[in-house]
Structure 1
């Protein structure tokens, strides 16, 4: 496997859709071998399943889909969020609701919990920060990769979660959506329409969403 320090997963994700607006089979095949246990295939299946929902608050409920997606682009890719909050939820076919937070590398699914627990129990003497985090203090060594990056707004340090230790298809799918490029986001939300986007303009509704996925 290539040296992970030289890999930009974000760049690889952004190349998943070719110039003809289709999934690039060659890039998908390459990414398949970058993750364990068919993780990439499971993530791609999630993106095409219609089970991923992106909620935006505050946002007018009369906003059309193109404008909604542009709001997400401005928030996650152009850093012009204007106070917008974005939440990603996965509603499985057995009615389980899963909350995924790629900014803090957290998912409420059982697979994530089991892997995290395994890390804790397998090496209880080593601090979690040592086991699960990679810190880059030298600005000259900074990476352009956004995948599994924590506290992305820091100017003096880069921190990455060790995704080789803890990952699930939900985190990978959301990273492909929101840590790649606006073209990938547009492909799954607008072109394929397999990832659904919902505006929320009422604080009570936004709070109810949090209660329902708690």
Structure 2
């Protein structure tokens, strides 16, 4: 992912529509949501699927002291990263429902990049001084937009991939604590934000769905106070 790649104007790549419309709160415009992506890595166990999660610091400005999935905001260079394998067609189409092709690619790359930066685990391989992300096993789960009342907002896509595709060992950068594999019960015991709990339930339902019933399924959108609607 070259550091000298041109960085597009993030406002020019925002398909937010109603999700990004400004509103008034105490005389100020609501913050514009930044495009972001999180990756739910799972592995199956007799007790059910385990998910890779870590705890945000208590002093974090956004969602402090809660367990989250690795992820973060899109960088300009993510638009230009060349993948080791391309996104599956169904995942690309799902992302492009509310994103340009360039942004859809960048969202998937951002999820893989943030995974590596936060956990040391690689979904891809190093190529010289760069890193080629492996996008071939990534599937789309849902989207969530931070409420307009929040001073920090994200238009976040949640993607999923099997943990068996990971390379390396967990070696956190310090951005997330308590990195590890959590069952649903263990994650709830470790304190979840309401939106993370809802996305986790969406993942559990997705994992329990027969593969032949996944294509064409309604895509969930969480916005406002974690209200679930269907992506239009």
TM range (shorter): under 0.3
Per residue, is there more strand in 1 or in 2? 2
- Greater relative contact order structure (CA < 8 Å, 6+ sep): 1
Per residue, is there more helix in 1 or in 2? 1
